[in-house]
Amino acid sequence: MTLCYLPAVNGPELPAPPATCRRPDFGSICRAVKILFTFENPLPNTQADAEVFVATARHLAAFTSHACASRAWLHVPASDEASRAEAAGLAGMPVVRARAPIRPAVLRHLCCGLTLPFRQEFRDADLVYTRNLWIAWIALLFGQRVMFDHYRPWPDQIPPLRPWIRRIFCHRRFLGSISHSEYTRGKYLELQIPAEKLHCVHNGFDPQRLGAQVPLDVSKQQIGVEEGARTVVYTGRINHKKGLERVLEAAKRLPDHLFILVGASGSSTIETAAKGIRNVRIVPWQQPEMLARYIFAADVLLIPPSAKPLAEFGSTVIPLKLYLYMGSGRPILAGDTPDVREILEHGRNALLSRPDCLDDFVAGILELTGDESLGRRLGAASLADSRQFTWAARAGKIAAILATRLASAPTACSAWGRAQSRDWIRQSLRWAIHLIRTRSWVLPPTN
C-alpha cells in the first residue's frame, strides 16, 4: 500500500490520491506499506463494529496509487468460498480466510489469533491493523508491528486487564492506538501510555448511503406520514441499552407528535412497551436506501438524551448514527454527555438536553418542531460539519498518523508506580463485585 497524505489532516475530506505516486512540492510523504487487516467476526453483518472496521480498511487501502504496487489483505473467518468472495467485495481487497470455526464465538476469536502468525500474508505484511487486543498481543509476540483501532475504554471497563493492556501498548512494535473519542483516549492516557501512541480519530459515514437530499414533505409522503404531522425519528438498535424508555415517556407527553423508531427486531422490551402508545410507530430494521427516507422525514433526529448507554452499559461511545444524521442536514436532538459534546455543540449544530431529564427532553423537541428557522440553521451547520466525518476523511487522518508512527523511533513508557497499582487493585475489586452482582463484564464509569 502507498500512503500519500498531506500534513493537514484535520480539515475537510481529502482529495483522491494522484494517478502516480509523486511527492508534492510542499512536503507530503509517500511510503509503500503492506497492511494485513484482521477482523474476527464473519462478514457481512449489521453490527456497527463491522461497518466501522470494513469502511476504514476499505478507504485506508484506497490511499494508494494505481500506478504503484498496492498490498493489503483482510484476514476474516468465512464459512465457504462464497462468503469469502462476499467479504472481499465489501472490503475491496483480497481476503485471507481465517482458519477458525464460525461458532462458538470464543473459539473463533481464539483460533483467529493462534493461526494468524502461520499465514504467509502475516509474514509479508509490514503491520497488522486490528480491533482485537488478543490479536494485537499474538501479532506482537510473533514479531509484527501493530496498529489498534477501537472505541471502548477497556482500562476502565475491565480494570483487571490494565497491566496486560499497558504491556501491549508499551511494546516497542506497537505503533499506536486509534480511539473513536477523546473520552476513550483519555482513559488510556491515565495508564501513562505515551501520548504520541494514542490518537483520537472520530468515526464517519458514507454520504452515498443517504443519496441526494429529499424535501421533508416528500419524505414524509414516502413513508406514509400524514401531511402536517411533526415527526421525531430514531434509527438504530431498539433495546433497553439505548435510553429509549425516556423516548416513550416523551411520546406520552406529546400526543400530537409522531415518534418513529426504526430498527426493530421484534423481541425487545421497548417494542412491547411501545405497543400501547398510539403516537409511536415501530419500524423493522431497514436497508440503507429505505433508512434514508426515514431520516429525511424527520422534523427531529434523535439520539436519546440518556447517560445509560455510556454510564451503565458502556456499549456506546458517540453512536455511529450521529454522523449519518449530520450528513442529512436535518436537526438533531441529543444528550449533553461528554462523548457527544466532542461532535455536537448546543445551539450551533444541534440541541443538547440534560441526560435523563424528561422535562428538558420534551422542551427540546418542542423548540425544534415549533421553530423551523432554528431547525434549518442547526441542520445546515451539522451538514457542513459532516464533511470532515466521512470514511474517506477518517482514512486520510489515519494514513497520516500511520506514516508518522512508522517513521518514528520506538517510544518508552514510564514505570508502573505504586499509585497505579493501588488504583488497579481497587478498581479490579469494584469490577469483581459488579460482575458477581450483575453478571456484566463491563464496569460502568464512576462519574
Q: What is the pLDDT along the chain (447 residues), one digit of tens a residue?
A: 545 433 333 333 333 443 333 333 323 445 578 999 999 999 998 888 999 999 999 999 987 533 234 589 999 999 999 999 999 999 999 999 999 999 999 999 999 999 999 999 999 999 999 999 999 999 999 999 999 999 999 999 999 999 999 999 999 999 999 999 999 999 999 999 999 999 999 999 999 999 999 999 999 999 999 989 999 999 998 987 888 999 999 999 999 999 999 999 888 899 999 998 999 999 999 988 899 999 999 999 999 998 776 666 555 678 999 999 999 999 999 999 989 999 999 999 999 999 999 999 999 999 999 999 999 999 999 999 999 999 999 999 999 999 999 999 998 898 899 999 999 999 999 999 999 999 989 898 865
Q: Which residue has the cell 500519500?
A: 4
CA atoms of 202 and 221, how far apart (whole Å): 34
Q: By C-alpha distance, which of 96, 145, 98 is closest to 125?
A: 145
DSSP, residue by residue, 372-417? HHHHHHHHHHHHHHHGGGBHHHHHHHHHHHHHHHHTSPP-PPPP--
Task: Identify the structural domains of the chain with CATH numbers, from first to last.
Answer: 2-204+393-406 (3.40.50.2000), 210-387 (3.40.50.2000)
Give the strand order in the sheet containing 95-97: 95-97, 72-76, 35-38, 127-130, 146-150, 174-179, 198-200
Handedness of CA 108, 114, 115, 116 (dihedral sign): positive
Predicted structure pTM score: 0.89
134: CB partners within 8 A, 6+ apart: 109, 110, 113
CA atoms of 223 and 231, how far apart (whole Å): 11
Q: Are 363 and 357 in contact (CB under 8 A)?
A: no
Secondary structure letter of residue 347 according to DSSP:
T
Whole-Å CA distances, 365 to 50, 321, 350, 360, 379: 32, 19, 11, 9, 14
Q: By C-alpha distance, which of 7, 78, 12, 8 is closest to 45?
A: 78
Residue 189 is placed in which grid cell? 492516557
Q: Which residue has the cell 458502556?
A: 314
Give the strand order in the sheet containing 230-235: 280-284, 257-264, 230-235, 300-302, 332-335, 351-353
45: CB partners within 8 A, 6+ apart: none
Residue 46 is predicted with a pLDDT of: 84
Residue 31 is predicted with a pLDDT of: 59
Residue 411 is predicted with a pLDDT of: 87
